[in-house]
Amino acid sequence: MPSVATSLIDVEAVARGIVVLLGTAPTTGDGSKRLHPRASKPMAKQQKWYVVWAGHEPGVYETWAECQRQTQGYPKALFKSFESRSEALRAYEEGFQGFSRRHRAPSGMESSTEAPIEEALAVDAACSGNPGVMEYRGVYLPSRRVIFEMGPFPKGTNNIGEFLAIVHALALIEKQGLSQLVIYSDSQTALGWVRKKRCKTLLERTAETAPLFDLIERAERWLQTHTYTTPLYKWDTVRWGEIPADYGRKG
């Protein structure tokens, strides 16, 4: 299996493999399919520590390069970045299961950890009005590169977009065999819909919204016919700021 860095940074190669598992690709004015390899501005880097629970040599490492050497090519590697050495040492000592239990929400939905897991896809949607013109996308967390983007749809809601984005990311991860990735969304509603395998929107189905509802039905069918193991986490906006997939506008 290709490394995460190779398969995810090559945005167009990934998109060719997964566009579109859930619907049609975005189009240009002449109706031809196109991709959206736009990237957000890189964030300032700071010192991080990397815990490798399962890898070639488990331990705590000071650089991402060292972490990669210990995890690439290792089946079902388990690792995570931390903002401080003390946090990393504590997490390593308690083991992955202990760390996971300490950060698991009582409801069973995966909760956010003290710092975002590095190897992740972050998803978000934007909607101009409610309902209104809607679009959604997924971003690879380490590089802030846009991995997939869909829309705009003429009439939708933000929750629908968030739901579709999560399922799109799940399908991508399964298709590419990227089992070490997790998914972040800042929508508790959409995370709940995915868990229940149903988009419980109140939006009315009309001729205008029919293509979007077709996409919703495909997403629900995917959830009903696939058993995914990818952890779903709620993005902690209060502590971490806006989710990296954010469009920079609210509405």
8 A C-beta contact, residue 173 and residue 231: no
- pLDDT tens for 182-203 read 999 998 899 999 999 999 998 9
For the domain bounded by 4-30+118-240, which CATH number is listed? 3.30.420.10
CA 188/CA 173 separation, integer angstroms: 21
Residue 32 exposed, middle or buried by CB count within 10 Å (0-12, 13-18, 19+): exposed
Backbone φ and ψ of 149, nearest 5°: -150, 135
> Per residue in 191-237, pLDDT tens?
999 999 999 998 999 999 999 999 999 999 999 999 998 999 988 88
pLDDT value for 115: 73
* DSSP character string of 198-240: -----PPP-TTTHHHHHHHHHHHHHHHH------EEE--HHHH
Look at residue 238 in the predicted model and tell me its pLDDT.
78
* Residue 94: per-residue pLDDT: 77
pLDDT per residue rounded down to tens, the chain (251 residues): 333 332 333 333 443 333 333 433 333 334 433 333 333 333 344 678 888 888 888 889 988 888 888 877 776 678 888 878 888 888 888 787 777 666 654 333 444 446 788 889 999 999 888 789 999 999 998 888 999 999 899 999 999 999 999 999 999 999 998 888 999 999 889 999 999 999 999 899 999 999 999 999 999 999 999 999 899 998 888 777 888 898 875 54
Question: Could you tell me the residue ranges of all domains in the chain?
Answer: 4-30+118-240, 49-102
Give domain 49-102's CATH architecture.
Answer: 3-Layer(aba) Sandwich (3.40)
Contact 39, 67 (CB under 8 A): no
For CA atoms 214, 220, 225, 229, the dihedral sign is positive
According to DSSP, residue 19 is labeled T
Report yes or no: 145 and 10 within 8 Å, Cβ to Cβ: no
Give the pLDDT score at 114: 61
The residue among 116, 46, 48, 54 whose CA lies nearest residue 85 is: 48
Element (H, E) at 96: helix 85-102
8 A C-beta contact, residue 170 and residue 183? yes
Quick one: pLDDT at residue 188? 87
Cα three-residue angle 209-213-218, rounded to 5 degrees: 155
Give pLDDT, residue 166: 97
What whole-number distance in Å separates Cα of residue 204 and Cα of residue 183? 29
Nearest to 186 by CA among 249, 227, 241, 231: 241
